[in-house]
Structure 1
Amino acid sequence: MYYYINEQPKNRAVAKTQEYIRDLLGLTGISGEVVTVSPARTTEELVEMGLSKKHNTIVAIGSDRHINKVATFLINRKCVLGIIPINSSPLIHQLIGASEIKEAVDILKFRKLKEINMGLIEPNKYFLTQAEIQSNKSFETTVTVIEADFDSYQVNTTATEMIISKNNYLFINDKYKGPNVLKKSWAWLTGKHLPDIESSVLRGKKIKIETSVQMPVIMDGEIVAKTPIVTTLQLKVLKIITKPVRIEEEKKKG
């Protein structure tokens, strides 16, 4: 039986959407225990309750922030995450392969599992979507990218926006300068240096971001850290339910 965790509704419209989802789950034949986050019952407490009752699937119903919180508490646990987005970003819809609520419910029924990566802002801020550093003014930043144990390089540039994806891609943009010219130097033991390159996307096993002034790091609209930060790629730490191939094929035929 599935265990559903509703986000605490922010308004009547969200509460009505939750009621609609509950009815839809019953009609689809995948109803289960439904609980709702409240000041008296936190997300973590509700997840632990579900695990203690031996549920093997916990479904997060709500926004990116709520989904990310539930996911964080299921990392490396013997439990699958299902997702029904409400007012969520396109990244969440893309992750599960659903464009609207009914489709997300149908996906749960078929239970197609996929192991996914997550991003981590050390020491303990995991994310399913992305983290952002943004400013109205350009700021100087130094980025150290570690690709392997003895293979790293540093980038010095300016930025107004830095976006870190869950797969540890770092997108850098300075809206006042156009394409970034990143000064890239390899930190080999030999001290080897490479010429400047034009780029705006970096990726590594681990990335350290330092800024000339301390900047807030925002995840799902919430400040979760301040620079300097270190981000790492967490490989296949979570199982989620995604769209089966046959549903996609039937959708194309229809």
Structure 2
Amino acid sequence: MNRRSDLARRVIPALLFLTAFLPRLLRPVSRPLVWYLRSAHFIDAVLAADWANTIYSEHPGVGLMWPVGIGLKVYWALSGISPAAYTVPPDFEPIHFFGPVPLAEISAGIAPLALLISLGILGAWWMLRRLFDPATATVAGFLLALSPYYLTQSKVLHLDAWMATLMLLSALALLLYRRERRRRWLLISGALGGIAALVKTPAIFLLPFTGLVLVTPVPQSPSPPVTQSPSPPVPQSPSHPVPQSPNH
């Protein structure tokens, strides 16, 4: 029984990661090219210390442009191609940019994003194991990995799937803080929430959510009633008739 349990602990995380990662990596959706263009120019501006040209949107999208830009830069260096993003100037309005961008180049941008989201799903499964039982966490992890809308958003070079992953992890870490009262969970929740806000501003929803969770009293599980065991009967000494002295 212990051997089977140890095997499940090793196989389930690997299987969950592959279930989340492979569908997101293969055949990415390239219809929105806005963040492809922004990520390409962002990483070039960072490497050139041209900080004024690292701001492209109010979202702000920084948490997305870092991994996507690094993935693109590595792909350009290995393949030796001239990036499609360089066909337009950095201040070009990206909403009007339609490519053409090779599918391999889009895949290079989505690959780090797919990796991070898949690791996030694995992290959510691990946190759910601490909040619930292993079976519930495993079912929830696979449903999350294969959720059609979430999966589709994860195959797009855009902000929403990565922001949602970070918000989920931040919320789970906050619940673990309420459960275990360990400060590290509160710090992890705040860090993940901050990165989520750097991806897209709707992540500030975590601020009122955090306040609500912290002020809500934790329900206490009712303790079973204490039953008093009946006290054993006190043995009584047998009564002996008192002998009467004979009358003389």
User: TM-score normalised to the size of structure 2?
Assistant: 0.27
Which structure dedicates a bigger proportion of its chain to helix? Answer: 2
Which structure dedicates a bigger proportion of its chain to strand? Answer: 1
User: TM-score normalised to the size of structure 1?
Assistant: 0.26
Bigger relative contact order, structure 1 or 2, given CA contacts below 8 A and separation 6+? 2
Q: Which has the larger radius of gyration?
A: 2
